[in-house]
Amino acid sequence: MKTLRYFLLFSIVAAFLFTSCESLEVENLNDPDFETAFSNPSDVKGVAGSLINTWYMTVQAYNGVALGLWVAADAGTCSWGNAGMRDLSYEPRIAWDNTPAYSNANVTETTYKWLYAGLASANEVLGKVVVGDMVIETDGVDETPMVAAVAHLAQGLNLGYIGLMYDKGFITTENTDLTQTLEVYPWNQVIDTAVMCLDKCIAICATNTFTLPGSWIPGINMTNVRVSELANTVAALLLSYSPRNKAQNDAVNWGKVLSYANKGLTYDFAPVMDDISWYTLYHTYAHYGGWGQTDMRLVNMMDSRFPARWTDAGTWDVLPEPTTAHVDGIDDRIFTDFEFLETCPFRVERGYYHFSCYRSQRFDDMLSTWTTPEEGFAKAENDLLKAEALMHQPDLTGAAAVINAGTRVTRGGLAPIAATAAEVEAAIFYERHIELHGTNPGLEFFVMRKANKLQAGTPLHFPIPGQQLEVNQMENYTFGPGKGVAGEDYSSGGWF
């Protein structure tokens, strides 16, 4: 296993330097050295080939926000101080420390910088092939549309995850004039721009035929059709997951979500890991023995005989026998995807609320070989986006049909649901926590956030990292109990 390995992403085309109040100054890359280095189309194609890997490694990183969001959502639990997990799972919740001197400041800094580095690379590729009309050919085949489609997809992924995770950000595309002052925009405008970038990817895929080189996304035959499906799913999830509260969720354009989801993933987007340039430390530390465990909230959802919250040492004495075969009313995945534990490694003085008697074993093949396909986005995730959009139409019959045809019944062994608003909504919420547990980083947090179910005081998004604020001469701010606007910046709801 790679222990606490840091995958440093060096953007060879851009570095973001923050200066002056509420502006973003970007290093001028229109210099002779840069122009010489990227005058060759093969070099530009090479950068394009790394764009999806750069995004994947950013959101799956150990020293990013993924692990912290996982415990803040009470989807996973871990009392260790690594990666901000202890601070983001305190009960009662505390405000995020956004000072540059904070020991876990790199949690938000790393994700923020790497997403912008990936965005900068995508913008520079598009600056060549779209703005600069560069033609990229290999053996007489025009690969310019393929390169442009992947770069627009990368724009959407990087901008989209900035909008999902942070309260605001800078918006740059291939058409941005970097000699001018750039303003910060709220998360919803960042999301809107990300979706527009994805639309450009989808449009290119609709009018061109191509297959990505195998090294770009290993293990998946990524044709133009599959790239389009991925872009459609990402657009649907950005619209669905970005609301900060239930009122905003109800106001989503669900017809637009349905349109995207209907053209979304028919396969699992799960690149094959090689433990060199493709690996996921989020999956590793969320599931490796002695590290993250499954929060009791999820255990109780699967088997109501277990408590939803661990209270004290005596809880061990009243635990029921774990289910090891099908029992009506209990999810089969509690023994296929999760493992019962006789002990818990966490420190008592940090709170029994961290304790759990289950861990996820769904990724154990990866934890033993490091060379398996690892889900970034699952087909099941797109199915649930479709069901959610149908529910809001409302088409409850259609939504229930999607759910009953899915893994809830086929893998979970649970009874089909009725076509009622209450059962459909509950099933979507449930499946996103159980079937998609630990797959797409941040998923459970986004789902809890838009349902007003995050514990009271939990930050609903991160601020621009303190280091960037300091360099940019912007006032430091943060979110948490009493910091920001209740219900918009920190949770005023809760699940218990």
Look-up: residue for tokens 């398996």? Answer: 372
d(CA 137, CA 65): 39
State the DSSP H helix or E strand holding residue 76, giving kind and residue range, or none if neither.
strand 76-77
State the Cα–Cα distance between residues 59 and 66, nearest whole angstrom. Answer: 7
Closest CA to 162 of 201, 115, 108, 199: 115
What residue type is assigned to position 93 of the chain?
R
The set of residues, in sequence order, having a beta carbon less than 8 Å from that of 458 and lying 6+ positions away, is 72, 88, 93, 480, 490, 491
Structure tokens at 379: 């087909």
Question: Is there a contact between 349 and 395 (Cβ–Cβ < 8 Å)?
Answer: no
DSSP letter, residue 38: T
Q: CA–CA separation, 258 vs 264, rounded Å?
A: 9
Residue 351 identity (one-letter amino acid): G
CA–CA separation, 356 and 299 (whole Å): 9
* Identity of the amino acid at 128: K
Residue of 270, 271, 150, 125 whose CA lies nearest to 210: 150
Are 79 and 354 contacting, i.e. CB atoms less than 8 angstroms apart?
Answer: yes
Residues 6+ apart with CB under 8 A from 330: 302, 303, 323
State the pairing for strand pair 16-17/76-77: unpaired
Q: What is the pLDDT of residue 37?
A: 56
Q: To 10 degrees, what angle do helices 144-165 and 41-59 make?
A: 30
pLDDT at 10: 32
- CATH 1.25.40 segments of the chain: 1-291+436-496
Q: What pLDDT tens digit does each residue of the chain (496 aa) get? A: 333 222 223 333 333 333 333 444 444 444 445 566 577 999 999 999 999 999 999 999 999 999 999 999 999 999 999 999 999 999 999 999 999 999 999 999 999 999 999 999 999 999 999 999 999 999 999 999 999 999 999 999 999 999 999 999 999 999 999 889 899 999 999 999 999 999 999 999 999 999 999 999 999 999 999 999 999 999 999 999 999 999 999 999 999 999 999 999 999 999 999 999 999 999 999 999 999 999 999 999 999 999 999 999 999 999 999 999 999 999 999 999 999 999 999 999 999 999 999 999 999 999 999 999 999 999 999 999 999 999 999 999 999 999 999 999 999 999 999 999 999 999 999 999 999 999 999 999 999 999 999 999 999 999 999 999 998 899 999 999 999 999 999 999 999 9
| Calpha distance 119→284 (Å, rounded) | 26
The candidate with the shortest Cα–Cα distance to 56, out of 283, 225, 211, is 283
1-291+436-496: which CATH topology? 1.25.40
DSSP state letters, 70-120 = HHHTTSEE--S-GGGHHHHT-SS-------TTSTTTHHHHHHHHHHHHHHH
Sign of CA dihedral 348, 351, 352, 355: negative
* Cα–Cα dist 329/413, whole Å: 8
Q: What is the DSSP letter of 463?
A: P
Structural Rg of the chain based on CA atoms: 22
